[in-house]
Each structure stands twice: as structure tokens, then as C-alpha cells.
Amino acid sequence: MNFDRNTVIGFVVLAALFFGFFYFNNKENANFQKEKARIDSIANAQKPKQDTLAEKIGLAKADSVNKMVNAGNFQDALKGTEELVTIKTELFTIAFTNKGAQPKWIELNKFKNMDSGHVKLAGSDFDKISYAINTATNQKSQTQTGDLFFRTGTVTKSADGSQTVSFTLASSDSSSSSSVTHQFIVKPDNYMIDFNVQLNGVNELLSGGIMNLSWQYEAAQQESDISFEKQNTQIGYVEKGEFDYHTIGKRNTVGFKDPVQWIGVRQRFFNSFLVAKNNFTSGSMEWVIPDDNKKIVVQSTTSMQLQVPASAKVELSLFYGPADYHILKTYDLKMSNLINLGQGMYAFVRPLNRFVILPVWDFLKGFVGSYGLVIAFLTLFIRLVISPLSYKSYLSGAKMKALRPEIALLKEKHGGDQQAMSVDQMKLFREAGVNPLGGCIPALLQIPIFFALFSFFSSSVDLRGENFLWANDLSAFDDVIKFGTNIPLLGSHLSLFTITAVITSLFISLYSMNMSPDQSNPVLKYMPYIFPVFLLFIFNKLPSALTWYYTVSNIITLILQFVIQNYIIDHNKVLAKIEENRKKPKTKSKWQERMEQMQEQQKKMKEIQKKGKK
């Protein structure tokens, strides 16, 4: 081969890994949509036929009668007026309802939704926390606490600033002392809410002392791109002390046979968890993914069982808050594992994010006000760390450039005999002490860094809603240029940060090719120019934080290339070093010996084939 594979191979490998990464992501998205369609099909098939108005009225009456019968000693609690008790802290505002004695909604005071109001969690009619209780002494009738009206909640404040809301439900049978108390403890500067259930007469209320708890949770759309939000929504839990998770598009149910400490839903930037301090004994969770136009990411229904202790007090906790790694880490429950700092086949970048990217990010944001500038300084830090390798790469490029005249002579000598050209070129590189793959290392090193930042920027709640230059939200793509229609592979917009990433990548290609020997292979010759164009389609839907990082990284690369090549590397010394290397005795590695043997064999085979044709 009569061409230098220095920077070119770096581009080829980089392109292959990029395409593989995004091919896998697109495949995951396709599987997500396929699974969603399958679930929707099953749901539609299982839908009952539409009833007439008369039938609906009849069914409603029958249901009301059944509820009244099943309520038994708690029939009085079936009727009532919903009343809310609202508590506000610095972090959130939460409203509790006396119907079911549970949270009605939670608003996060530090986070805005798409309509400029506060992000609201667990605020739909679907959301419910409930469990079945026996309503008669014979334990044959049951009702759900979520359907019963508790007495109006009372609020007490403690010296530590915490507030306790208590709701009570008592049997209307004077001969029974059965009662239920729900106690919620809201602490200052804490997203975790203690939820205690006190059961008086537990043997009457629960069969065998087993509580069957149902938790319904609806994750409403919070981000502008619901499709990307769904792709980044997961179900997480700790079962038998081990953390695990599932992406919602891959399956729609999970069962638990071993003790479960907690189970939760992460919808990219916000989490909701249900925690049992003494563990759930078993249970299951299933979920559905509604159509995008309903603006609902996922609806989950969790059914968990737990053994009520002798004290008849069930200690639970509820978490409604941001998907913030540091916040979740403080609870020491492995909840922070659900933050995507590298998962699945990209789990190898998680240590890089945890121990390098995240600490540097936290340090920089402590004194830099703009997150766009934080990204720029983070990029500069990364490039400084890998600068020794970059220097070696540029030095290798300078050596290759110095060998251009000799490579041109070899090309003239061998003409179209690529095999002979390759053998002599390898000898030339070895004599001059040049590594033809030296320029690949920085390009390959960019791959884990890019994957780490892809995970980090996609899950960092710090970036949510932060604007920079023309981007209104660094956690989403900037759609300054809107087409008004969907263009295949590109979408309905064009990201300006993607354009800057593409243009700067093209400049790097032009400069790198200028530093390399003339290229005769048309595929490898034009690959460095084609690759930046592909970035246009790959990056257009990615968070603008990532495309801004890529732009800054490219600008730093261009500056480093220019400075090192023109002011640091002495090309006369490079030539002198090459001549010095030529005088040294050469030792071949086993790989080089095998390579040369293979090339010689191929050369002889070619000569035999030519003689045979004559």
C-alpha cells in the first residue's frame, strides 16, 4: 500500500465506532417502538366492548352497591368530601388528600415545566397508593383504602423543622377497635418523605398479617422531546440487595420473588421511588407506554406484598425529586445507580464519569455561572489531560510528512504494484522509526470520552432548562432552524451547534490530510471528508450540550495542531532524528516478522500468477 494510514485509520475507526454506537441506539429505538406497538395491540384487544349509556349507568350503580357491601364496617368512609392539606418546603410543595390518605400531587419548586410552571409529579387521577383491608369480622369482605375518606389531616411541627401530617380511619362498628393511621413526615431540605402506616387490630384488618400494597404512578411528559424522554425512562429496583433496571421499551413487566428494598421510575430527569424499610417480600410491576400525543411517558402499576411486623407499624418512604446523582447517593440505597452515567454495553464509561467527569464538573460549576462555559472549560481540561498523546500524534504526523518525498519515489518505482509498495513502505517506516498508527491513539481515546459525555449530558439535571448562546435548553437539541416538515434522517429542524461541529470536523480533516502523504485509495482518501457530513445526521437530535462540547473540542484540536506543528515541533530536528534512527541496528518484533513473511508470500504468489498467465 502506497499511502499513509496514520490519521486516516483513526478517522475510519472513529467513524465505525460512531456508526456502530448510533446504529445500536437506533435499533434500540426501533425495538422500543415495536414493543410499544405490541403492548398497545394487546391492550386494544383486551378492551371491553363499548357499553351503551344505559348499560354504563347500570354498571355504575352495581359498582356502587358492591363497594357499599364490601366496605362493611367502613361504609361511612365511602362518602365524604375531599380535603387537601398542603405543606411547602424549600424543595417542593406537596398536597395530601384525605381520600386514601395519600399524596395528591407534588410540585418541585426548583424546576420548571414546559409551560413555565413548576414540575408536577404524581398529580393525575391515575396516581394512587392503596391496599386492601378486611371490613368485616369474618374477613370475607375487603375494600381498598384508596377509595375511603380518612378524617381530615392534622399537621404538627417538630423542633427540627419537620412537619407531620396524620390521617385516621376508624371502623364504624362500636364493637371493633380496628383503625388505620397514615402518617407522613416531611423534612426540610429532603426529597424523601417518611410514610408510616399504623394498624390497630391488624389481625382483623389484614389476613395473615400480609399487606398487599398497590402503587400506581403516571410519569407525565416534562421535556420537549417526549421520544427521547421515553428512551431515557427506566424502571429500577434493589432485589436481594442487588440493583437492577429495565428500559421501559424492552419489556412491560417484572416480577419479584426475593426481598425488594425499593422500586422506582426514572424519567430522564425526575425520579419517584417507593421504599420499604423492612423490605417487600415479593411482588410485581407492569407498565404501559401511552401514545405520544397523550403527553404521558409511562403508566406503571406496582403490586407488592410485605409482612406487617409485631408492632403493626409499616414503615415506608416516598421519594419525589430530581434524578440528581449526589442527592440520591446520600440515601445509601443504591438509588444513584439508576442515573445513567454509563449502563448496559456502555457501563465501561461509568467509572470515567463518576471519578473524573463528575468531580471536575462539580468543581467548575462552583465558580462558573454559565453551564455553556462549564462545558467549554471541561473540554479544555479533557484536552489538556490527553495532550501528551496528542503531541505524540502530531509528532508522528510530522515524521510522516518528512517522509513524503521518499514515499513518492517508492510510488514511482512500483507503479501499480500495491503489494511491493506496501512491503517497501513498511521497511521505510521501520528504518525511520515511524509508527504509521501513531495518529490513531488520540482519535481512539476520544471514543470512551464521547460515550461518557453522551451518557452524562443526557442524564445531567444541571443542564435542564439552561440556555447558552442560541440554545434555550442545553439538555435538548437547539432547533433554531425549523423546516416545518419532517425530513428523513434529519427531522424537522437543523441544529446550529451540529453545524458548527460538522464544519470544525471538516477543518480538522482538511488539516490532517494536508499533513499526511498523498492518498491514492479513493475510499480512504475521501473518508475524512465524508465522515463530518455523516455527523450532521447523527448529531442533529442530540442534546446541544454534547454538540457544543464537540465543537469546542474541535476548535481546541485545530489550535493545538497549528501551534504544535508550527511552533513546538522542529522539523529539522525531526529529519535529523529520522536519519539517526536509520543508523541504529533494527530489531523486528514477531508481529513485524510475520507481517513481512505474509507480504513476501503474497508477492511470490502474485509473481507465480503472472508467469502462469504468460
Are 152 and 242 members of one domain? Answer: yes
**Extended strands (E) in 102-205:** 102-112, 118-121, 128-134, 142-144, 154-157, 163-170, 179-186, 192-200
Taking residue 28's Cβ as centre, other Cβ atoms within 10 Å add up to 15
**The pLDDT of residue 3 is above 50:** no
Mean pLDDT of 360-388: 90
pLDDT given for residue 358 in this prediction: 94
Are 314 and 375 members of one domain? Answer: no
pLDDT given for residue 6 in this prediction: 44
Q: How confident is the model at residue 38 (pLDDT cuts 50, 70, 90)?
A: low
Mean pLDDT of 236-249: 92
pLDDT given for residue 238 in this prediction: 95
Whole-number percent of the chain with pLDDT over 90? 41
Per DSSP, the three-state class of 125 is: coil
- Where does a domain end: 313, 339, 365? 339
Among 162-166, 385-389, 539-543, 558-562, the range with the most confident prediction by mean pLDDT is 162-166
Q: How confident is the model at residue 493 (pLDDT cuts 50, 70, 90)?
A: confident
Number of domains in the chain: 2
- Phi, psi angle pair for 522, to nearest 5°: -65, -30
For residues 150 and 77, is the Cβ–Cβ distance under 8 A? yes
Per DSSP, the three-state class of 57 is: helix
Q: How confident is the model at residue 613 (pLDDT cuts 50, 70, 90)?
A: low
Look-up of cell digits 491514492: 520
Whole-number percent of the chain with pLDDT over 70? 70
**Extended strands (E) in 380-495:** 481-487, 491-494
**The pLDDT of residue 2 is above 90:** no
**The pLDDT of residue 63 is above 80:** no
- Phi, psi angle pair for 258, to nearest 5°: -105, 165
Are 375 and 318 members of one domain? Answer: no
Q: How confident is the model at residue 448 (pLDDT cuts 50, 70, 90)?
A: confident
**The pLDDT of residue 328 is above 70:** yes
Are 277 and 365 members of one domain? Answer: no
pLDDT given for residue 500 in this prediction: 93
- Judge whether 289 lies within some domain: yes
- Judge whether 28 lies within some domain: no
Mean pLDDT of 588-595: 60
pLDDT given for residue 376 in this prediction: 94
Q: What CATH number is given to the structural domain containing 270?
A: 2.70.98.90
Q: How confident is the model at residue 562 (pLDDT cuts 50, 70, 90)?
A: confident
Are 434 and 521 members of one domain? Answer: yes
> What's the alpha-carbon Rg for the chain, to the nearest Å?
32
Are 145 and 268 members of one domain? Answer: yes
Mean pLDDT of 403-428: 69
Measured distance CA(126)–CA(52) in Å, rounded:
24
- Judge whether 609 lies within some domain: no
- Where does a domain end: 339, 373, 395? 339
Polymer length of the chain: 614
Domain ranges, residue 59: 48-339
Q: How confident is the model at residue 56 (pLDDT cuts 50, 70, 90)?
A: low
pLDDT given for residue 320 in this prediction: 96
Are 290 and 399 members of one domain? Answer: no
Are 372 and 332 members of one domain? Answer: no
Q: Within a 13 Å sphere around the CA of 249, how many CA atoms are in the beta-carbon half?
A: 21
- Judge whether 59 lies within some domain: yes
Are 531 and 433 members of one domain? Answer: yes
The per-residue pLDDT of the chain, averaged, comes to: 81
Look-up of cell digits 377509595: 147
Does pTM top 0.85 for this prediction?
Answer: no
pLDDT given for residue 303 in this prediction: 95
Mean pLDDT of 446-463: 88
pLDDT given for residue 68 in this prediction: 57
**The pLDDT of residue 525 is above 90:** no
- Judge whether 386 lies within some domain: yes
Q: How confident is the model at residue 335 (pLDDT cuts 50, 70, 90)?
A: very high
**The pLDDT of residue 1 is above 50:** no
pLDDT given for residue 570 in this prediction: 61
pLDDT given for residue 324 in this prediction: 93
Measured distance CA(164)–CA(451) in Å, rounded:
45
Structure confidence by residue, pLDDT tens digits, 144-194 = 999 999 998 899 999 999 999 999 998 877 666 788 999 999 999 999 999
Are 217 and 361 members of one domain? Answer: no
Are 281 and 407 members of one domain? Answer: no
Measured distance CA(578)–CA(420) in Å, rounded:
23
pLDDT given for residue 479 in this prediction: 86
For residues 528 and 15, is the Cβ–Cβ distance under 8 A? no
Mean pLDDT of 107-126: 90
pLDDT given for residue 237 in this prediction: 95
β-pairing, 118-121 with 192-200? unpaired
CA 287 to chain centre: 19
Lowest mean pLDDT among 198-207, 254-263, 531-540, 586-595: 586-595
**The pLDDT of residue 7 is above 50:** no
**The pLDDT of residue 139 is above 60:** no
- Judge whether 611 lies within some domain: no
- The grid coordinates listed for 445 are 481515546
Exposed / middle / buried, residue 403 (Cβ in 10 Å: 0-12, 13-18, 19+): buried
Mean pLDDT of 198-210: 88
Mean pLDDT of 425-435: 67
**The pLDDT of residue 519 is above 70:** no
Selected residue with higher pLDDT from 523 and 257: 257
- Judge whether 614 lies within some domain: no
Are 246 and 170 members of one domain? Answer: yes
CA 84 to chain centre: 36
- Judge whether 591 lies within some domain: no
pLDDT given for residue 485 in this prediction: 81
At how many degrees (to 10) do helices 496-515 and 544-563 cross?
30
Measured distance CA(538)–CA(583) in Å, rounded:
48
